[in-house]
Amino acid sequence: MKKWMSISAAFLLGVVVTLSAGDVSAQVKSLIGKKVTGEYTVIVNGKTLEDKGAIIESKANVPARAFSEALGADVQVSGKTIYVTTDNEQSNNGAGNETAGAAPVSNKYIGSTKSSLEELKQSTENRILKPTIEGRDEIVKQISQLENSDGGELTKQTIEALKKELATYEADIQKYTKELEMINEALELLKK
């Protein structure tokens, strides 16, 4: 009985190893049999990257993450797509002229799943933006009440402190409103 269990276990192990090897080879199948000229040092803006590049089938291949980070770009991977975004405005017409009014490609949410974007949108609206707006409105109310009172120097100091706090609320509202706009933009792209 033990002999049969050992044989069965060995057979199952062989099947698992065989199937795993097939999966690994399928992932790199596109490079198998291609002519690799050699490994090359990649230098970006005078900085030598640790990862090497290669010429495969007469095409330069560089390590995407190291290359884009050296250029100051953000790299995100979603499924089988790599998204590289920068804060710099890029030319859209190929002639080197910048397109007037074109927005920079820097939406960190592009490439996220619809469900994660919807969850993030709801969280930003209800857990961050809504309470922040309510807090700002409360400060505005307090400032208004203090300005209408006949307070002395302490009241003036309190009003100044509240105005500083109000500025913080305004900056946060602007920041999270921009985040919400980017989330909505990414959601709209998924609808197309």
DSSP 69-80: HHTT-EEEEETT
pLDDT in tens, the chain (192 residues): 566 655 655 555 565 555 555 554 454 556 677 777 777 787 777 677 788 877 776 677 777 777 777 777 777 776 667 777 766 544 333 434 334 444 445 788 888 888 999 999 999 999 999 999 999 999 999 999 998 887 788 888 999 999 999 999 999 999 999 999 999 998 998 887
| 187, 114 Cβ separation under 8 angstroms | yes
What integer pLDDT is reported at residue 87 of this predicted model? 63
Instruction: Dihedral sign for Cα 127, 128, 131, 133, please.
Output: negative
Give residue 138's pLDDT.
Answer: 96
Rounded to two decimals, the pTM is 0.46
Which candidate, 186, 184, 176, 187, places its Cα nearest to that of 127?
176
Q: How far apart are CA 51 and CA 66, in angstroms?
A: 7
73 backbone φψ class: left, alpha, beta (φ>0; ψ -120 to 50): beta
Whole-angstrom Cα distance, residue 83 to residue 108? Answer: 9
Kindly give the residue spans of alpha helices, DSSP state H, lying in the chain: 2-27, 64-70, 114-123, 130-147, 153-191
DSSP H or E run through 54: strand 53-56
